[in-house]
Structure 1
Amino acid sequence: MKIAFFSSQPYDITFFNKCNKDFGFDLDYFDMALDEQSVNLVTSEFDVICVFVNDKVDAGVIEVLSERGVKYIALRCAGFNNVDLEVAHKKGIRVCRVPAYSPEAVAEHTLAMLFTLNRKIHKAYNRVREQNYSLNGLLGTNIYKKTVGVIGTGNIGAVFCRMMKALGTEVLAYDLYPNEQLKAEGIRYVDLDTIFSQSDIISLHCPLTPETLHLINDDSIVKMKSGVMLINTSRGKLIDTNAVIQGLREKKIGALGIDVYEQEEKVFFRDLSETILEDERLQLLTSFPNVLVTAHQAFFTDEALTQIAFVTLDNLKQLDATNEIIGRNAEL
């Protein structure tokens, strides 16, 4: 089986090549994202394309893949909002993903962002490097006994709920499908309005769907506590960037941590240090002292990358051998 990887980074090549020793697939790597132009790199010799979060797998791209005889689209991530599943199914192309690679990795990064913003570690780090040892402007609060709202309690959200519960916070959760085990552990499920109005900290862990697009917007921000901390390590388009910028200006949002961004496909996973950033909204966000931006690195641990490579290749092995994937919710 021959696989074309798009949006390939050096670490993808390292981990997939290492894992592939046990599978023996033929792997080709392209560093560009998949879109209507780069899809022409897919020739009839490829059985599979393997894509990541910012690759564009829409109807037009799938039409070309179908013409070239591609049998499988393998997502090396959990989210699949960038794939037109309906068209893929119509064309007979099977789609699989990695539903749970390391929920701890993303939850831990969320926690790191929370602590960094609250205790202003990023500002303190820069000050000390400049031999400024003043504490003025670095005042934080205790996380203990705060109210934390978690939107989305799938694999990652559930881990984050338990982390926050262990820190002595009151955890409120929202999900269309409540986790009964979390309920038994003292996590209280409420509606979104309650999350918005009662939470000191709100963390997003839900998928991007038509219903969750711009879940955080002008209307939802108005309902929030003044000074709320908002963290998003899920999908960038859950947040209306313009609304959040206004919320920061009005001090309604006291701190913002984002590992994902609405227009990240034009910026993230690239070294732009020698260029002028054209995205004015991202440039503005990074100018706020109470905003922390990381470039979609929440998943980026050794354990997660190892699991992503194994599950991706194992999904394809099972599909090719048995026409189904057994034991995990991986096929779409």
Structure 2
Amino acid sequence: MKVGVFSCKSYDREFFNNRNHNYGYELEFLDCALTPETALLTKPFDAISVFVDDIVNREVLDTLKESGIHHIALRCSGFNNIDLEYAKEIGIGVSRVPRYSPESVAEHTIALILALDRRLFKAYSRVVDNNFELEGLLGFNLANKKIGVIGTGAIGQALIKILLGFGCRVLCNDINPSDQIKSLGCDYVSLQDLIKNADVITLHCPLTAESQHLIDHEAVQNMKDGVMLINTSRGGLVNTKALLAGLKSNKIGYLGIDMYEMESELLNHDLLCEKVDDDIYQRLATFPNVLITGHQGFFTRESMIQVTDTTLSNLQYFFAGKICAETFLN
């Protein structure tokens, strides 16, 4: 069976080629993203695999149907970039990778928190210039700080276990509270109470129509002065203009993001988020108390192995005429 792998990077090729010996697919790697303009490239394939920035709207789905594509294997957990209802309507199956090394994102979150708190980039730049002055590098202890974790799924739970090791008091918010997290002594509170009381707020929930701009102007204004805000989930959870306003007023004292709201405007498209001009991103990047990474949170060897194996396994289910309840979306 021939599978087209869109938005492919060198590391995708490495891991898919290394793991494909268990499956024997004919894989063709395409550097380009799947868009209305590139959708015709799917004609030679029996199925395709896409990533978070590929566009799978009605126009693309119609082209896939005409090309004889009956399955799309997402290499990610999120699926806001695909019109899932229309895919089901026209008979195109969709699978995803719901879990991949939650520790990788949790640990990246901790890395952002510590780098911002201890101003590691500024400190490193000084030492490189033989400047060992400590002025302006004062940090704070994580021990006894209130850390607000919004979203206590697999990643949120992995993060909470790390935070408890630092001696933090963890405040949680989720529409489905976890008994396991409660048993660890963590409190579930309303979103409003979490935003009002947390010294550090970190986001670990999916992007949906309901959660888009969960952090907006009002939320920022209700935060503690000098709060640290971390987003290693999806960019659209926060209103970037609200972040800028909070940074300018010093309401937000530290900002760490692995996802920019309109990051796909820098690459392809993001269907769910409203338009934000690129100069807003450029302005955001000028703040010395902002640390931005580019979808790096998941990027560990362990995570890539799990993403690859799950994607190939999903394709195996499809070609065998079966479904996997955990990973198939329709």
User: TM-score, normalised to structure 2's length?
Assistant: 0.95
Note the C-alpha offset of 1:329. 4.2
Counterpart for residue 97 of structure 2: 98
Question: Any residues of structure 2 matched to 1:142-291 within 5 Å, and which?
Answer: 142-267=141-266, 279-291=278-290
CA contact (8 A) 1:174 1:190 kept: yes
Letter in 2 for 1:22: N
Note the C-alpha offset of 1:227. 0.6
**Cα separation, 2, equivalents of 1:268 and 1:171:** 36
Note the C-alpha offset of 1:163. 1.1
**Cα separation, 2, equivalents of 1:197 and 1:228:** 10
**Cα separation, 2, equivalents of 1:330 and 1:291:** 37
Aligned length: 322
Q: Does 1:136 align with 2:135?
A: yes
CA contact (8 A) 1:325 1:331 kept: no
**Cα separation, 2, equivalents of 1:49 and 1:101:** 20
Counterpart for residue 88 of structure 2: 89
**Cα separation, 2, equivalents of 1:258 and 1:229:** 11
SS in 1 for 2:295: coil
Letter in 2 for 1:196: I
SS in 1 for 2:320: helix
**Cα separation, 1, equivalents of 2:249 and 2:157:** 32
Counterpart for residue 14 of structure 2: 14
Counterpart for residue 40 of structure 1: 40
Counterpart for residue 274 of structure 1: none
Note the C-alpha offset of 1:267. 3.0
Note the C-alpha offset of 1:115. 0.3
**Cα separation, 2, equivalents of 1:166 and 1:268:** 38
Counterpart for residue 271 of structure 2: none
What are the superposed Cα offsets for residues 91-116 of structure 1, whole Å, 9 maximum, x if unpaired? Answer: 11111000111100000000000000
CA contact (8 A) 1:199 1:228 kept: yes
**Cα separation, 1, equivalents of 2:102 and 2:279:** 32
Note the C-alpha offset of 1:319. 2.5
Unaligned residue ranges in structure 2 (runs of 5+): 269-276
SS in 2 for 1:21: helix
**Cα separation, 2, equivalents of 1:235 and 1:250:** 24
Letter in 2 for 1:41: L
CA contact (8 A) 2:40 2:67 kept: no
CA contact (8 A) 1:268 1:296 kept: no
**Cα separation, 2, equivalents of 1:130 and 1:59:** 54
CA contact (8 A) 2:6 2:34 kept: yes
**Cα separation, 2, equivalents of 1:329 and 1:77:** 11
Structure 1 residues 330 and 180: CA distance shift in structure 2, 3 A: farther
Note the C-alpha offset of 1:165. 1.4
Report sequence identity in percent.
47
What are the superposed Cα offsets for residues 22-75 of structure 1, whole Å, 9 maximum, x if unpaired? Answer: 1001111111111110112111x3121111111111111111111111011111
SS in 2 for 1:125: helix
CA contact (8 A) 2:53 2:267 kept: no
**Cα separation, 2, equivalents of 1:147 and 1:185:** 15
**Cα separation, 2, equivalents of 1:23 and 1:69:** 22
Counterpart for residue 293 of structure 1: 292
Counterpart for residue 272 of structure 1: none
**Cα separation, 1, equivalents of 2:285 and 2:127:** 20
**Cα separation, 2, equivalents of 1:155 and 1:63:** 35
Structure 1 residue runs of 4 or more that deviate by more than 2 Å after TM superposition: 266-269, 328-332
What are the superposed Cα offsets for residues 114-160 of structure 1, whole Å, 9 maximum, x if unpaired? Answer: 00000001111111111111111000011100000011111111111
Counterpart for residue 116 of structure 2: 117
What are the superposed Cα offsets for residues 198-251 of structure 1, whole Å, 9 maximum, x if unpaired? Answer: 100000000000011111110111111011000000001111111100100000
CA contact (8 A) 1:97 1:312 kept: yes
Letter in 1 for 2:293: T
Letter in 2 for 1:8: C
SS in 1 for 2:8: coil
Structure 1 residues 268 and 292: CA distance shift in structure 2, 3 A: farther
User: TM-score, normalised to structure 1's length?
Assistant: 0.94
SS in 1 for 2:285: helix
RMSD (CA atoms):
1.4
**Cα separation, 2, equivalents of 1:40 and 1:268:** 20
Q: Does 1:4 align with 2:4?
A: yes
Counterpart for residue 272 of structure 2: none
**Cα separation, 2, equivalents of 1:188 and 1:73:** 39
**Cα separation, 2, equivalents of 1:185 and 1:108:** 19
Counterpart for residue 31 of structure 1: 31
